[in-house]
Amino acid sequence: MDLFFYYIKIQKKRETMDIKAYMTQDHLDCDETFAQMENVASKEGLPATKEIFDKFADEMEHHFQMEERVLFPMFEQKTGMTQGPTEMMRQEHTQMRALIKQLSSAQSEANLDKFFGLTETFMILVQQHNMKEEQMLYTMIQQHMQADNDTILEMMQSMITQ
C-alpha cells in the first residue's frame, strides 16, 4: 500500500479515537519503531540503524511534546493539578530524553554492547512510564477532558515538534 494512503487511513482511524486510545496507539507506534531499530541493529549492525534511529527519536520527541505542550497543560488548567502525575511524567520524559541521547552516542560510535545495554534500560523505563500513563493518567485526562476531546486531538495532530 502506498505510504501516503496508509498515513491517511491511520489518521482517519485516529480521528475517531478518544484521547486515551489515541495516546495509547502512539505508544504502540513508538514501541514498534523501537523494536524495528533493535532488529536492524542486531541483524545489520549499528551503522545501518541511522535512519530508523532518527525516526524513533523523532517519534518519541513528538509524543513527549504532544503531552507537554498540549495534553498536560490543558489537564492541569482544567483540574488545578500541577504537581501531581503530570509533573512525574515530565521528569520521566527528561530521563528518557537523556537515554535517547546516550543511545545516539552509542549508535554514532557503533558501540553495540553499549547500545543494547541502553536499549534494555530504556525499554524498562518506557514500559513502566507507559503503564502509568495508560492505566492512570490518560483515564483521568479522558474523564476531565471528554468535552474537549476533538479539539485536543486536532491540536496534537497538527503540532509541529520543536
pLDDT at 60 over 70: yes
pLDDT tens across 111-123, in order?
A: 999 999 999 999 9
Over residues 74-90, the pLDDT tens digits come to 999 999 998 889 999 99
121: which 3 cell numbers? 534500560
Q: Which fold has domain 18-158?
A: Four Helix Bundle (Hemerythrin (Met), subunit A) (1.20.120)
pLDDT tops 80 at residue 14 = no
Q: Where are the domains of the chain?
A: 18-158
Give the separation between CA 76 and CA 143, rounded to whole angstroms.
13
The model's confidence at residue 9, banded by pLDDT at 50, 70 and 90, is very low
Q: What is the pLDDT of residue 115?
A: 98
Higher pLDDT, 17 or 59: 59
pLDDT computed for residue 48 by the predictor: 96
Span of 16-25, 57-66, 110-119 with lowest mean pLDDT: 16-25
* pTM greater than the 0.85 cutoff: yes
Half-sphere exposure of 82 (CA within 13 A, CB side): 3
Annotate 128-142 with DSSP letters as a single string.
HHHHHIIIIIHHHHH
The values of phi and psi at residue 141, to 5°, are: -60, -45
